[in-house]
Each structure stands twice: as structure tokens, then as C-alpha cells.
């Protein structure tokens, strides 16, 4: 049970508040090994997770609501900075955080082999390449959590899934959904294929198979690229097949987070029909 160290604040000049005031300095947070959760739903999911909670910045009204969850944490102590609503309104992005923020620690990267061994069969994995938009990355994490993806593989050309906008975009699902960041996505896909995992590239092209006819019931990894450039040639070459969503309109692609949800829904539907869920 955590002891709460309550620290009322009259201004935002204190050095210890810097993490809460530098929400756009993604690299600084990464180097410090921390993430910032903003808004009540995301903070509550952080408090319910296994992630280490360092501190919180709250209005007195929010402390009253969240105190039981804070005290139930396993940390020995958590610093809680208390500021009036009028003061916290001056922090950039107040319309998003609403005076409820918390800092947690980014966990060590999980071991890829251990994740594979711990995941039940048949495997359902997702991988992303070149996703720079934190909002899209967060939405993809949320979709993976919704459809039971065993873990999401984040390639080296993506942004961090732990940056504030990604954490918010996931609605806190990043605290529940297993994610592994890799240094070489192509080699990771090759390693999966060597283990018998089929890798399907979500890539609209004339020679791509339609999603509706592809069998996604076995061990598989669905691979997604950024809107516009799509997947690189080397990543496409590392996949077994290219697959596209059949669309009768003149449009040939969706937002990557939307496309991910469509692919994952189809995989889940097939597995449910086959009695695998």
C-alpha cells in the first residue's frame, strides 16, 4: 500500500514539475525512461496496471476521487502534486488532461522469445513499420487490445508507443497490451517465418489477395505500414503474401489504424467461426 506524499503547489516553476510541462519533448521523456498519462481514464488504467507510478499532478477534487486507487498501489510512496484548477489550466493541453496527470516508468523491453513462448496458440500478432503519427500508433495499440493480439511488434522506423499522444490515443491500453519494440523489423519477420508464422503484408496492389479469401486462422502476423509510402520493399519481401481490403469505391486505402482494425476483426471472426476463441 502506497504512502502518498502530498505537495501543494502555488506555481509551476518547481523543477520537479518539468515532466508535466514538457509534454511535447518526447525524446526527453524517452531518455528519462518515463511516460506521462493524461486524463482520468488513462491515469486510472495506469493505476490499475503493473507499470511503476512515480507521481501524479491533480486538483484536490481529483485527489479525492483517485486516492483509493493511489493508496492501493504497490509502490512504497507516490508523490502527489496538488494544484488549483485555475493553475493547472495554464498547462498546455488542459482540454485533454483536465487536471489529471501522472508519470509512470517505461518498462524494460520484453524478451521477444519469451513473449512467443508465453503466447497461446494459434498466434495472432501485428507489426508496424514507419508509423510516425503518435495518434495512429496509439489507436493501433487500442485495436490490438480489443481484438486479442498476443503482442504488437513496433519496428525501428516507428515513433515510440509510450509518447504522451500515443498513450492517450490508446486510451491507456498500452498498459495492458504487450508491445515489443525491435531494432530490425525485417529480421524479426524472417525469424517469425522460420518458426512457421505466416506474415501477411497489408498492402493494396493489383496482385494482392483480398482479405476475405485469406486464411487467418493459423499462426500469423499482420504487417502494416504508414499511409502514403506503405511498407518498404524489404519488408514486403520478408512477408509471405500481400493482402488488401476489398473496397468497391474509388478509394484504395484507409487510415492505417482503421485498416488494422478491419484486418484484426477478420482474423478474430475467422477464429471464432473455427472455434478457436
pLDDT at 276: 74
Q: Do 118 and 233 fall within a single domain? A: yes
The pLDDT mean for the chain works out to 93
pLDDT at 54: 97
Residue range of the domain that includes 19: 3-105
pLDDT at residue 1 is higher than 70: yes
Q: What percent of the chain has pLDDT over 90?
A: 78
pLDDT at 24: 63
Mean pLDDT of 52-77: 97
Mean pLDDT of 62-90: 94
Q: Do 128 and 259 fall within a single domain? A: yes
At 186-201, the pLDDT tens digits run 999 999 999 999 999 9
**Burial (CB count within 10 angstroms: exposed 0-12, middle 13-18, buried 19+), residue 113:** exposed
Contact 200, 220 (CB under 8 A): yes
pLDDT at residue 94 is higher than 60: no
Q: Do 36 and 14 fall within a single domain? A: yes
How do beta strands 179-181 and 209-210 pair?
unpaired
Q: Do 97 and 145 fall within a single domain? A: no
What contacts 274, CB < 8 A, 6 or more positions away? 217
Last residue of a domain, which of 89, 105, 121?
105
The stretches of the chain forming alpha helices (DSSP H) are 18-21, 26-32, 40-47, 60-71, 85-88, 94-97, 112-118, 134-146, 164-169, 185-194, 233-237, 256-273
Q: What percent of the chain has pLDDT over 70?
A: 96
pLDDT at 227: 83
In this predicted model, which residue has the larger pLDDT, 91 or 53?
53
Q: Do 42 and 147 fall within a single domain? A: no
| Ranges 11-15, 220-224, 272-276, most confident | 220-224
Q: Do you know the residue count of the chain?
A: 277
pLDDT at 97: 66
pLDDT at 259: 95
pLDDT at residue 126 is higher than 60: yes
| Ranges 50-59, 97-106, 227-236, most confident | 50-59
Q: Do 253 and 205 fall within a single domain? A: yes
Rounded to two decimals, the pTM is: 0.93
pLDDT at 95: 59
Q: Do 136 and 235 fall within a single domain? A: yes
Mean pLDDT of 136-144: 98
pLDDT at 113: 92
Q: Do 11 and 96 fall within a single domain? A: yes
CATH number at residue 136: 3.40.1280.10
Whether residue 226 has a cis bond before it, omega within 30° of 0:
no
Q: Which cell is 127 given? A: 507489426
Q: Do 118 and 237 fall within a single domain? A: yes
At 15-29, the pLDDT tens digits run 888 888 876 677 778
CATH number at residue 93: 3.30.1330.30
pLDDT at 260: 98
pLDDT at 16: 86
Q: Do 218 and 174 fall within a single domain? A: yes
Domain total for the chain? 2
Q: Do 67 and 171 fall within a single domain? A: no
Last residue of a domain, which of 77, 105, 133?
105
Q: Do 212 and 129 fall within a single domain? A: yes
Last residue of a domain, which of 46, 70, 105?
105
Amino acid at each position: 500500500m502506497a504512502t502518498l506524499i502530498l505537495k501543494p503547489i502555488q506555481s509551476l516553476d518547481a523543477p520537479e514539475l518539468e515532466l508535466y510541462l514538457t509534454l511535447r519533448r518526447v525524446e526527453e521523456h524517452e531518455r528519462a525512461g518515463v511516460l506521462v498519462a493524461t486524463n482520468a481514464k488513462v491515469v486510472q488504467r495506469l493505476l490499475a496496471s503493473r507499470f511503476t507510478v512515480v507521481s501524479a499532478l491533480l486538483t484536490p477534487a481529483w485527489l479525492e476521487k483517485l486516492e483509493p486507487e493511489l493508496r492501493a498501489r504497490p509502490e512504497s510512496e507516490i508523490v502527489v502534486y496538488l494544484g488549483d484548477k485555475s493553475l493547472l489550466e495554464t498547462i498546455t493541453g488542459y482540454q485533454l488532461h483536465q487536471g489529471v496527470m501522472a508519470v509512470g516508468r517505461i518498462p524494460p523491453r520484453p524478451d521477444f522469445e519469451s513473449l512467443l513462448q508465453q503466447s497461446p496458440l494459434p498466434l495472432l500478432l501485428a507489426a508496424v513499420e514507419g508509423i510516425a503519427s503518435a495518434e495512429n500508433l496509439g489507436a493501433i495499440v487500442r485495436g490490438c487490445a480489443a481484438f486479442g493480439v498476443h503482442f504488437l511488434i513496433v519496428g525501428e522506423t516507428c515513433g515510440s508507443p509510450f509518447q504522451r499522444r500515443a498513450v492517450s490515443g490508446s486510451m491507456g491500453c498500452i498498459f495492458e497490451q504487450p508491445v515489443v519494440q525491435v531494432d530490425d523489423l525485417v529480421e524479426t519477420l524472417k525469424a517469425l517465418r522460420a518458426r512457421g508464422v505466416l506474415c501477411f503484408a497489408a498492402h493494396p496492389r493489383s496482385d494482392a489477395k483480398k482479405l476475405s479469401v485469406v486464411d487467418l486462422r493459423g499462426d500469423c502476423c499482420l504487417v502494416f505500414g504508414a499511409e502514403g509510402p506503405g511498407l518498404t520493399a524489404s519488408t514486403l519481401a520478408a512477408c509471405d503474401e500481400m493482402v488488401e481490403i476489398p473496397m468497391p469505391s474509388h478509394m484504395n486505402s484507409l487510415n492505417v489504424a482503421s485498416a488494422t482494425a478491419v484486418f484484426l476483426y477478420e482474423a478474430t471472426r475467422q477464429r471464432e467461426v473455427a472455434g478457436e476463441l
